[in-house]
Structure 1
Amino acid sequence: MSLDMMLEWWVNNDRLIDLLITALGQTLAMVAIAGLIGFIFGIPLGVLLHLTKETGLLANKATNKVLGTFINIGRSIPFIILLVAIIPFTRIIVGSSIGTAAAIVPLTIAAIPFIARLVEGALLEVPAGLVEAAQAMGAKPKQIILKVLLPEALPGIINSATITLVTLVGYSAMAGTVGGGGLGDVGIRYGYQRFDAVVMMITIVILVVLVQAIQSLGDYLVKRVDHR
């Protein structure tokens, strides 16, 4: 597929161009909303998972095991299966099983345990000596969490957020297979089902550019906050 063919197609297909722009907006909305809600629930869950481990500030073996089990179950379900399995739940939440709003529900559910594990990993990278020093100075658990753990783990948390958003872009494309809207839906309906290689290629290029933009922004932010 040559660049000239793609440019010629772009000039002669105004309706599909509008469709691609709309689909890009839907993809961005799905990723942004699912990511935001995922961070709101996933980051505290990851922090709690870290704090309740055997050597954590709030060590609680039972709580840690229950949280770990639920997170592992959430992470073990392939997204395409999750997408279909929770259709009844999605209908209850948004009143429909198709469309952008419906796709946000499984995207969010998939994101929360994913973020929790990544945040736990970021917190594990904080040197234990910093926590011990804060405890020696009489800092309370809340102070240690807010002034030691989270600030020191911030580069790792931002990197986790970047990985999550990139993953959600891929998941949002999968949602197109069941009428979830977005670029995946355009690629399936107009590219694959209608055997239009140009549409498929343009969809892929847009997704690649989107992922690269997210990754570049994430890398930039990590460099800005990482003073190690």
Structure 2
Amino acid sequence: MWLGVPVIPTPDDEVVLPGGNVGGAVRVGDTVRRPTGPWTPAVHELLGFLTDAGLRCVPRVHGIDERGREVLEYLPGEVVPVGVVALTDGQLASAARWLREYHEVVADFPRGPRRWRFADRALQAGEIVCHHDFAMYNLTFDGDELVGVFDWDVAGPGVPLDDLAMFAWASPLLFPDDDAARMAHGLQVLADAYGTDPERLLRHVERRLTDSCDRIEAGQRAGDEGMLRLGERGEPASTRERLARLVVRTDEIAAALTHA
């Protein structure tokens, strides 16, 4: 037993899943197997809490296999490929509505200290447990409807707008060389569906992505294998460069919001 959940025997029929820049994952039947870390007990506690609360789109925890990997429910649906197909307005809105629902549910999660991937502390005033990588590559859809949210490894303390800002950044909606009106439209769709001010969301992106870059670098210095793999892909340097080019256009995009 580990964390009060059963040890699941390791089968032979494993299918490597695409993505997995941080941890890697394989599918075995109706389950997904992924590496664990010191943060896994907190993540499993979180997922169990969300499941018990009846929140949809969250994978159930089934235990740990004989190789020490977590065993999670496989979530059906389609992952929209980044840079190949854009999310529809319906998909953006569905994801933003779910995110608001998640934030309302997780507000009741016990606030005591836990070892998260990037933090080892209790929640502070105004904080919740954020997903912290709520991006199109970690979501599955059935048409326009969100049906799955996975890869919770970097969950931890944050403010609600952190998740929405990450989604705006990694949908992807915000590219420095893109048309300001198109970016403003996407921000408006997200803000309307979530229930927040689009300019406030836009101006939070710099803080959220700067924090993300700082966490990745701290993980690399600490020898976190997942963060080191991101380093092999040029992170966080590429994100810092893209962010710097976006920030200088913030006022232009904000002005376009009045016409979104």
Instruction: Provide TM-score, normalisation by structure 1.
Output: 0.31
Higher relative contact order (CA 8 A, sep 6+): 1
Q: Which has the higher helix share?
A: 1
Higher share of residues assigned strand: 2
| TM-score (normalizing by structure 2) | 0.28
